[in-house]
Structures are given as structure tokens and as C-alpha cells.
Chains A and B, each alone.
Chain A
Amino acid sequence: MSKRERITIAVLGLGGQGGGVLADWIVQLGAANGYVAQGTSVPGVAQRTGATVYYIEMFPAGSTAPPVLALMPVPGDVDVVVASELMEAGRAILRGFVSKDTLLIGSTHRVYAIDEKSAMGDGRASGERIIAAAHERSRRFIGFDMDATADRAGSVISSIMFGALAGSGALPFSRGAFEDAIRGGGKAIEPNLRGFAAGFDAAEGKEEPARIAPAANGPTTDAGRALHARIAATLPPQAHAFAVEGVKRLMDYQDAAYAALYLDRLESLGGNPGVLTEAARHLALWMSYEDTIRVAALKVRASRFARVRDEVKAADGQIVQLTEYMHPRLEEICETLPASLGRRILASAALSRRLKPFFTKGRHVETTSLRWFLMLSLLAGWRRWRRGTLRYQVEQARIVDWLALVRSADAATALELVKCQRLIKGYGDTFERGLGNYARIVDRYRAGDVTATDIARLRDAALADEDGKALTLALAS
């Protein structure tokens, strides 16, 4: 049997991506155009919602004996592999489905595995090696971000893959025949055809419409210009980008004076460009700690309303109502109060006990209702008195401590100490855990005999698990 007569196609997809629909389309396509076509699927359970291999084999109809078609793809004998995700493309290469005779069509976007998603820091694996392998191992690799294409076309990824398969020219059928298969499927025909066209164009290498360039980064106010000039004059060029972002953030967070305090603090850290660059990042993050005022301010912004509308794909004329899941505890309320008052409440067991019941239940805050919007706006306006709040005093004291530590260390150690700010993030218990881990590392450093590499190792350990077991072990060794 000549291999050229037979066409073998493997589709690798995840649950919910419409791989079954795609396989059906391909089978219909073959059957309607003079082929005996057969589709099978082998479900598998990956760490996501299950990776499934669909296999389609077709053979020209009209031969004397009916052809015998395989039920599973055989390594080294697959003409076209279509993968709906980058790791699936990698899996296809690993399983041997992709050989030097294979056309590999794959999306370059990632659906992250649960290990990658649930890491406390950044657990994402690099996809570059897979893309390199895809080019190297296949006859031809057609790869683009099909998820983004589907999003732009307002369609689903299966239609993009079908379009890419058509656009690749690997099958002896016309574009019209492909589109007929979609129409024959009878499911969401309009969006599927739209997605098909987008996939077809992308596979042919047609340019995507140019994205709108991001707004310029320059200062717009007098205060901004003054601080910009100050950054240019006092900080090394490497640190400029982060320092500009930091100043921008802190002016938004509080005011120009607060941003000036940020630059004062940065300038006090000496002249090492590496340390200053990272310090510009982490100091800005610490100084813009997320208190209730900040959260309220971010939630009521018009820009945020617009972003949500865009994200949930609300059309013009549709109304979007927003509900937040907020859970201010007594601690957060007290932190927002004037320092002396907040401290007194937290210190008094009787008062805390009496007030606590009011703040044990989470609240569903409907930001788009007048009552809650006004409430959040008032809270956001509390910014003016932020410097008097308990949280402000506590955080500034922590920052001053941290900077003193950084100043007294050598450059390599200082850099690692600066990066430890990364541990402090989140709200409520998450925040306390991060702060606790940070404190343990800093205490260990203060106890002496700790090198820069040790700090980096401890930081990684702190991000290894929620219970701090790895950190305890690392601290003991």
C-alpha cells in the first residue's frame, strides 16, 4: 500500500477544547470528498482536564477491497499532527507521532499544568525548547497562538485548528469543502466559519492586524517632570525603567511627596546599579502595600470598569453589574484607622472580642450599586489621611528596617536581601505567612554567617510550600 494514498491525522487536545468536533469535521470532510474515513479517540488523563488523542485515517474510496484502517496513530506514520496547545505539541513529538515526514500544526499558547499554576511564586515551565524541537523534528511546523486568534475572532480553538489545517494545504481538499464540513456539522456555524477564516489566514502566514502601541511613558505633570529629571540625574541608567514605574505607581498610590520619599530611599542605597535596579522594583512594591484604601481605589476606577467589560466580553448596550468578594477582618479595619485608635482596639482584648463578630462574615460588595460605590469611594478618599493610619506606620517601620539591612550589606548580599521583598504579598493570612517567612530569613541573616547564595536558597525554600516545611529544613541546614 502506498503511503501517499493514505492520509493519517492525529489531533491532540485537552478536554473542552472541541477536539472531538474537529475530528468529526475532518471525518466528514474526507467522507464527502471521495474518501473512506474513520475517526477514533483515545482519552488520556493529563494533569489538566484530560488530554485526548483523536486519530483520523482516510483512504480513497473505490478500491476493490475495503481498506483496513487503524484505530490508533502509529509513531513514524502520521502525516499531520494538530495540537491545541504547546505542551501537547511537545507530547506528540515525545510519543514519536511527529517525524521528518510530518506536518505539525500547533498552538503556541500554554494551558498551564496544575503544578505550574499552584506554585507560590512563578512555576511556569519554559516553552522555547518545545518550539525549537517542533521546528527541528517535523517536516514543517505551523505554530501560532491559536487561543489569542480564537479570542480575536470571537470563536473557539477547534475552528482555528481546522482553518490552519486547511491553510496548510496538506489535504487534497478545497477551502470550500472544509467550510462545507463546518456547515454540515450544524454547530455554531457563524462563529466557527469566522474562526476557520482566521486560522486559515494565520497558517498562510498572513500578518495579524497591528496592535495599538502602548501609551507613551513620559511624564504629564510638573511634579512628574521634576521627579523624572531627578531619576535621570541621580540613578544609573539600568535602574531608570523600574524607577519611573515606581514613581508613577507611588504618585498614583499616594502623591508626589511619597514618590519623592521613594527616590530619597533609593538614593540612600549607594551606587551599585544591580542593587538599585532591583531595589527600584521592590521598594516601589513595598511602599505601595495593598491596604483597604488601595483596594477600594482600584476597584472603583472607570478604567477598571472598562477592563472588566472587555474581559467578560460585554457587547454595547449590555449592562454589567459587578460584585466583589471582600472580607475585611477587624485587623484590616483597625489598620485603616488612625494609628493610636487602631492600636488601642487591637491591644484591648475586650474591645476586640466585642467588635470581632461584626467582621467575621465575608461581604458580597456590589460595586456597581450606588450604596457600595459611594462606600468604596469614601474609603478610597481616605488616602488623604493614609499617613496617619496604623498600617502606614507599621509598613514604613518595616521598610526602614529592611533598607538599613540592605545598606549595611555587601553588594551581592544586598541584592538578595532586596529580592526577599517578593515573599511579602497577598492579604490576610497569606500576607502574614509571607511576612513571617521574610522575618525568619532576616532573623537568620542577622544571626550571622549567611552568604548571598544562602539567602537566595532560603527564599526559594520559602516559596516551595505553604506550611514553611522547606524553609524550616533549609534554616536548619
Chain B
Amino acid sequence: MRGVGIAWAKTRTRTYDVAGMRDAIRDALTAPEKGPKVLVAQSECQLNRQRRLKPQLAKAMKAGERVVRERFGVDPDTCTGDHSCIRLSGCPSLTIRANPDPLREDPVAHVENSCVGCGVCGEVSHAAVLCPSFYKARIIANPNGRDRVRQRLRGWVIGALQKRSARKLAARAF
């Protein structure tokens, strides 16, 4: 880059970090250096990556190896059906479905199973301060010993707390 006279060049390894990417572009546009500036967005296209990895992961999973898969989703009970996220994202896997809430009319956002886990939907709504409905789920298949111990500990505490709050909830329920 420097060889062809680019004074400002940066590489970002996590392109799907929307806020970071936005800041990098802002830096590039406001940097005092003259001439063209280069920002290398290094992350692989997630669709490509998934096509490459999916068969490998399926094989590893069958062989009993530890495999981590990521997926995104929207909680229908905190989503209010404004669809700002869809207006910003435009992802084909981010769509709408009928609101499960009997009182609400507008459809809620919903991530379909075709999601390849790039996470841009969540990152965008994060960067735009939209709403807390997006979640990322890491699904660990064939967990190893460490995973299991940690999970048992968490499950024990979280489970106890959840049981307690469910009891309280039932006591003040309809």
C-alpha cells in the first residue's frame, strides 16, 4: 500500500463489528492525510465461510468433537414490532412473523433458520441503540469436561434462582 503512495492504510480483522467499522470509516474520512485511503475489511463473507465450514462441522460433530455454532435471534416478548432493525439491516434471514402476544398487532422481528450467524443484525441495533431484543446463542455440541463443569455450576445457581422467581411469579399470577 505504502508503495503505491497510500499514506493512510488500516486493516480491520473483525468486519462484522459494525460500531468499530463505522468508527474506522469515520477515521478514514476525517484523517488529515491527503490522497486515497485504504481500509482493509478482512473478515470472510459469512455465507462463504458457512458453506465451507458446515460440512466440516457436521463431520466433527458426528465424530464426537466439540463444536461451537452461533446463531442469532429476537426475543418476541421484548420486541415491540417497530422493524427499525429490518430497515437498517436488510438481511434476508431477518424477517417478521405474527406477534405471539395476543394484545399486540404489529408483527415481531424474527431470525429464520437460514441465519448464518454473522451477527450484523445485533451489531447494527447495538450501534444504533435500538433495542435489547437481539440475542446471540452459542450452541456447544459435545461439550468437553471444562464446559460441563462450568455449565453444572451455572445451571445449579441459575436454576435455583429461576425456580425461586418462578414460584414468586406463580404466587402473583392471574
Contact = CB atoms under 8 A, between A and B. Distances in A.
Interface of A: 15-16, 48-49, 111-112, 114, 116-122, 124, 151, 219-221, 223-224, 227-228, 241-242, 244-249, 251-252, 255-256, 259, 281, 284-285, 290, 294-295, 298-302, 304-305, 308, 311-315, 317-327, 329, 362, 364, 367-370, 373-374, 377, 380, 422, 425-430, 434, 466
Nearest to B127: A362
Contacts of A305: 162
17 contacts: A49-B92, A228-B174, A252-B174, A259-B174, A300-B161, A301-B166, A311-B73, A318-B139, A322-B136, A325-B135, A329-B129, A370-B153, A370-B158, A374-B161, A380-B165, A425-B80, A425-B81
B171 interface: yes
Contact of B136 (A294, A318, A323, A380): A323
Nearest to B104: A285
A281 B101 CA distance: 11
A474 to B, nearest CB: 20
B130 A430 contact: yes
B131 A428 contact: yes
A48 B92 contact: yes
Nearest to B19: A362
B137 A322 contact: yes
Given A290-B78, A368-B158, A251 B139 contact: no
Contacts of A117: 83, 86, 94-96
Interface of B: 19, 71, 73, 75, 77-78, 80-84, 86-87, 90, 92, 94-96, 102-107, 113-114, 122-123, 125-132, 134-141, 143, 147-148, 151, 153-154, 157-159, 161-163, 165-166, 169-174
Interface of B is mostly: mixed
Contacts of A364: 136
A256 B172 contact: yes
B80 A319 contact: no
Given A117-B96, A298-B75, A299-B75, A422 B105 contact: yes
Given A120-B82, A362-B19, A427 B104 contact: no
A249 B103 contact: yes
Given A116-B96, A298-B78, A321-B138, A220 B129 contact: no
A318 B140 contact: yes
Given A16-B114, A327-B132, A426-B84, A219 B138 contact: no
Contacts of A290: 78, 80
Contact of B173 (A224, A311, A374): A224
A156 B122 CA distance: 25
Contacts of B171: 221
A447 to B, nearest CB: 27
B174 A248 contact: yes
B106 A122 contact: yes
B174 A362 contact: no
Nearest to A124: B107
Contact of B154 (A298, A302, A308, A370): A370
Nearest to A246: B103
Nearest to A220: B173
Given A220-B173, A300-B165, A119 B103 contact: no
